[in-house]
Amino acid sequence: MNLVLASASPRRSELLTQAGYSFTVHPAHIPEDPLPNEDPIAYVVRLARQKAETVFAELTSSSSRPADATQSRVCSEKSNRPEVAAPQVLGADTTVTVDNQILGKPQNPADAARMLRLLSGRTHRVITGVALVTAHHTETAAEVTGVRFLTLSDEEIADYIATGEPMDKAGAYAIQGRAARWIPRITGDYFNVVGLPIALVSTMLESVGIDSTSLSS
């Protein structure tokens, strides 16, 4: 099996590796702005699917298109050789929501401060959409986790932003980083908050015959 992760996120790669899967990384480059009045779950599922479908199309079109006439003749002469297996592409997208407002990655430090003030002293939702695209199968799903934040002072917010940690994270924080000290409890899947709900992903992969034992080497 040729499992491909359509994400440049080091956290998703770490979690997939931790679960015992072997895979390659091929990030997708698509617009990630939400549609007007788009539901947060629909938003992340749409992006996850678009990422997986984009990478699947890129990989299958590049592998089937000969580079030049010489390569075309070689391919014709060796047509009896086994074909390369089509990729199994996993896409994912995570967002944070509070009051049904989508909080993506902050655009700048001021935006990060705005997000952290919204989360301060409240419970918010972290939603990850997941999509698996194969030659004959497309499946999507979503995981939702509730996360409780302690009340943050302006000084704490400023000091946290100064570390740089919030700037590439949905909702402007990392549960596995310095922000852990402000999270007394969660309801649901911890790994979902990190960026990839491993139990859900494993179930999806197993449904098409992919498991960590068969992929590990």
Q: Are the CB atoms for 128 and 189 separated by under 8 Å? A: no
Angle between helices 109-119 and 154-162 (to 10 degrees): 140
* Structural tokens at position 110: 């001021």
Looking at the annotation, which residues are catalytic? 93
* Structural tokens at position 186: 């969660």
| Residue 197 burial (10 A CB sphere; 0-12, 13-18, 19+) | buried
Give the number of C-alpha atoms closer than 13 A to the C-alpha of residue 53, restricted to the C-beta side.
11
| Residue 56 burial (10 A CB sphere; 0-12, 13-18, 19+) | buried
What is the predicted pLDDT for the residue at 11? Answer: 93
Give the Cα separation of 163 and 178 in Å (integer): 9
Per-residue pLDDT of the chain (217 residues; tens, 9 = 90+): 589 999 999 999 999 999 999 999 999 999 999 999 999 999 999 999 999 999 999 999 865 544 443 333 333 344 444 455 789 999 999 999 999 899 999 999 999 999 999 999 999 999 999 999 999 989 999 999 999 999 999 999 999 999 999 999 999 999 999 999 999 999 999 999 999 999 999 999 998 888 875 544 4
* Structural tokens at position 154: 């302006």
What is the predicted pLDDT for the residue at 73? Answer: 38
Q: What is the DSSP string of the chain?
A: --EEE----HHHHHHHHHTT---EE-------PPPTT--HHHHHHHHHHHHHHHHHHHHHHHHHS-SSHHHHHHHHHTTTSPPPPPPEEEEEEEEEEETTEEE-S-SSHHHHHHHHHHHTTSEEEEEEEEEEE-SS-EEEEEEEEEEE-----HHHHHHHHHTTGGGGSGGG--TTTGGGGG--EEES-HHHHHT--HHHHHHHHHHTT--HHHH--
